[in-house]
Structure 1
Amino acid sequence: MVIINPGNPCGNVFKYEHLKKVAETARKLGILVIADEVYDHLTFGSNPFVPMGVFGSIVPVVTIGSISKRWIVPGWRFGWLVTNDPHGILIKQGIVDSIEGFLNITSDPATFLQGAIPEILEKTPCDFFTKIVDMLRESAEICYNRTKEIPCITCPCKPQGSMFVMVKLNLSLLEDIKDDYDFCLKLAMEESVILLPGVAVGLKNWLRVTFAIEPSSLDDGLGRVKAFCQRHTKKQ
């Protein structure tokens, strides 16, 4: 079972009780849990981040982490796997050996990235992370509030983590827009604003908005989305 928390593309952060039920369900099914937690330090809502590894005594957990998100260095394909398995099930079943074997046959990250890792791990000041989270909190608030001003777009839940949110597109209010892909294509051409069509992540007629951007630029971009929607609104 794979769980992504904090979530991409929705910006959700699961509660302790929910994660415990996931662990208990996985145990009943006799399967392990793979926890993608690359956004673990980018949370800013009411739900605190809970690592899936705390439920390792219930079910074996393999946790995935990454440098690129917390340090905001997209493209730095440098991460890690951690096993949380006090009962040694993953070792007994040969899964740990399989992971190590796979890592031995794959290419390593670029050497200059490897050289930079000790420096950034040891010397990045704490206020660097605080500023990032504060910016994401402000940007998430802007994103949630500004989308309320656009009738054809609905944001079901304010994001509490990561740097993304999914919004629902109401095509019945628009003319000359066939689907989410068509919406994003025309938006890019007319307003130079890029959104990801939901179909790319399996949610047709939804849109993924990235709010990891300086707040004033985000506000400007959402203003352009609003203007675009107003131009394409069906005439009464």
Structure 2
Amino acid sequence: MTQERIAERVALVPPSGIRRFFDIAAQMPDVISLGIGEPDFVTPDQIRNAGIQSLQQGFTAYTSNSGLLELRVALSEHIKQLYGIEYDPETELLITVGVSEALQNAMLATINPGDEVIIPEPSFVAYPASVVFAGGVPVPVSTSVENSFQVTGDAIEEAITPRTRAILIGYPNNPTGAVMPRERLLEIAAIAEKYDLLVFSDEIYDRLVYGVDHTCFASLPGMRNRTVLLGGFSKAYAMTGWRLGWLAAPVDVTAATRKIHQYAIMSAPTVAQYAGLEALRSGEKDVRQMVAEYDRRRRVIVDGLNQIGLPTFEAQGAFYVFPQVSHLGFTSEEFAEQLLHDQQVAVIPGDAFGPSGAGFVRACYASSLDKIEAALDRIERFVKPYL
């Protein structure tokens, strides 16, 4: 064929920088991976058993496109209890195959070709890609360690043009671990109101916060009806492989997103939905136990990296830290590659998450404390000659 086969919007998106380092590490012996954002906990027993029982009882058919009504009712109550917001289980909630599907389909449902979407970064690698795949234009807004990687309303307003359609935020943040205080989120809310913008708020890490409160963006005054709230079961309930997420949004956005979902997916896996229902019913104790353990690991890795000589601000959410490495004379990618090959520790280059991540690397502390301490010893050996 003389004609290029690959669509331009796909060719524009680079392969995931996270996956590349994961694939390299998978080929090497004795690697300690601080790369992939996946809990090292097994899904709690009663949640696994609920999935098993659903299979044993023969619940193997499709569910409603929107997901099990019972699950949506439980999810509606869960959101109300946590944040005081009410969503109609029939018309304003959609169960998806992970949060990634919810985000991509919501973008397809609301973004027209050429629309601009403002994305504070460093940000999760899928954010710009989801905008491009929908035909939109991602507009990055940089944050810095000096501001604890918190974006300001002023910075967002400076990026607004007549083509701006939406703002996409993800807090607690992947990769930095930053949490946005309520007063800073109110700045974004004021901008969204002033310019009549949608706000996509990815809150997959909402339960993983340490010593601070998480503010749900949709709970802010006037924001429920202009927010596409995204969440899921992967992180808080250690259910990554179950691939179960959700979207909560006004009726028109949910209906449009459901339309894409029903053609592309039909429905989320039935077994996963029954497991998710049990997670909402009985998983709170497990969430609290896992959060306490993440907090213990967080303090060890932040203190350890700072003592080694890698300046690391105190992340307050998710399960990532974002140490600075530029003072050692490395780019982010050079540091990650040499650390992996010299000491068999896998981290992710910070600029995989956007240009403002240059000079940093992301390390995930969802590994056991023993592995974190061993990784810190190896990192110290690696960086010592450069300090």
Task: Tell me if both proteins adopt one fold, taking TM over 0.5 as the criterion.
Answer: yes
- 1:31 is matched with 197
The answer to whether structure 1 residue 189 and structure 2 residue 341 are counterparts is yes
C-alpha distance in structure 2 between counterparts of 1:227 and 1:110, whole Å = 45
Instruction: Decide whether the 8 Å contact of 2:205 with 2:236 is kept in 1.
Output: yes
The answer to whether structure 1 residue 48 and structure 2 residue 200 are counterparts is no
Q: Match for 2:362: what amino acid?
A: R
Instruction: Decide whether the 8 Å contact of 2:326 with 2:332 is kept in 1.
Output: no
C-alpha distance in structure 2 between counterparts of 1:212 and 1:137, whole Å = 10
Matches within 5 A, 1:92-107: 94-107=252-265
The answer to whether structure 1 residue 160 and structure 2 residue 160 are counterparts is no
- 1:86 is matched with none
Q: What CA RMSD, in Å, does the superposition of the two structures yield over aligned residues? A: 1.9
Matches within 5 A, 1:114-193: 114-124=273-283, 126-151=284-309, 153-155=310-312, 157-171=313-327, 173-174=328-329, 178-193=330-345
Which of 228, 234, 243 does residue 77 from structure 1 map onto?
243
Alignment: residue pair count: 217
C-alpha distance in structure 1 between counterparts of 2:275 and 2:239, whole Å = 12
Instruction: Decide whether the 8 Å contact of 1:195 with 1:209 is kept in 2.
Output: yes
- 1:199 is matched with 351
* Superposition deviation, residue 32 in structure 1: 1.2
Q: Deviations over 1:90-120 (max 9, x none)?
A: 55xx434321211211223334323422333
Q: Deviations over 1:145-198 (max 9, x none)?
A: 1111222x221x201110112111134x35xxx522122122112222110011
Instruction: Decide whether the 8 Å contact of 2:247 with 2:254 is kept in 1.
Output: no
The answer to whether structure 1 residue 213 and structure 2 residue 371 are counterparts is no
% same residue: 24
Bigger Cα displacement from structure 2, 197-206 vs 21-30: 197-206
Instruction: Decide whether the 8 Å contact of 1:196 with 1:209 is kept in 2.
Output: yes
The answer to whether structure 1 residue 12 and structure 2 residue 170 are counterparts is no
C-alpha distance in structure 1 between counterparts of 2:185 and 2:179, whole Å = 10
TM-score by length of 2: 0.53
With over 3 angstroms needed to count, the CA separation of the structure-2 counterparts of 1:56 and 1:103, relative to structure 1, is farther
Higher relative contact order (CA 8 A, sep 6+): 2
C-alpha distance in structure 2 between counterparts of 1:127 and 1:113, whole Å = 20
Instruction: Decide whether the 8 Å contact of 1:70 with 1:129 is kept in 2.
Output: yes
Instruction: Decide whether the 8 Å contact of 1:149 with 1:226 is kept in 2.
Output: no
Q: Match for 1:186: what amino acid?
A: Q
Q: Match for 1:189: what amino acid?
A: H
Instruction: Decide whether the 8 Å contact of 2:319 with 2:365 is kept in 1.
Output: yes
C-alpha distance in structure 2 between counterparts of 1:96 and 1:109, whole Å = 15
Instruction: Decide whether the 8 Å contact of 2:236 with 2:287 is kept in 1.
Output: yes
The DSSP-based 3-state class of the residue aligned with 2:230 is strand
C-alpha distance in structure 2 between counterparts of 1:206 and 1:75, whole Å = 28
Q: Match for 1:100: what amino acid?
A: R
* Superposition deviation, residue 20 in structure 1: 1.1
Q: Match for 1:168: what amino acid?
A: Q
* Superposition deviation, residue 56 in structure 1: 5.3
The DSSP-based 3-state class of the residue aligned with 1:68 is coil
* Superposition deviation, residue 229 in structure 1: 0.8
